[in-house]
Amino acid sequence: MKSIAQQKFLYYILALIVISLDQYTKLLALQHLQFETPVSAMPYLNWTLLFNTGAAFSFLSSAGGWQQWLFGGLAVSVSVFIAVYIWKLPQQARLLSISLALVLGGALGNVYDRITLGYVVDFIDVYLYSCGSVVRFFPACHWPAFNVADSAITLGAILLITDTLINPSEPPLRSRGGVA
């Protein structure tokens, strides 16, 4: 049987795997793709190298540079909070811990880009052939480009919501045996 520290360590390993996979795929994108030139991977999916200086969906991308420090500082602060929170969660809160580890890895993967490059590398481009009247708010039916870190954050958020639905009245640190 694993000790509590060993189990907690596995969540941090998951975050490191996300960071490693994210940085490796971004390196491949930087080496093999040309900026803003789509490469078809399969129907509905292109590899398109883009640089995001803003937040999600390029929010504040043309703000002049100050947003890099804001988003970088915010991501580091939230990451420290999540790392401590995972450590304090009770052993039974596995789904919550996994979801937070995915968010942690994704946040740190993107903040590394912000600190070292001044922007986040995005390269996954999902689209629809014909939007018709279904999806009018995305130009040319393309979802905003994203990366592995964004995918991990999204999956972590979905698992976090799932955990909330499974345990709706259980505050994680109190009802599951943790310290408040």
Annotated catalytic sites, by residue? 122, 150
CA dist 116 and 125 (Å) reads 23
- DSSP string for the chain: ---HHHHHHHHHHHHHHHHHHHHHHHHHHHHH--BT--EEEETTEEEEEEEE-SSGGGTTTTS-SHHHHHHHHHHHHHHHHHHHHHHHS-TT-HHHHHHHHHHHHHHHHHHHHHHHHSSEEEEEEEB-S--TTT--SSGGGBPPPB-HHHHHHHHHHHHHHHHHHHSTT--HHHHTS---
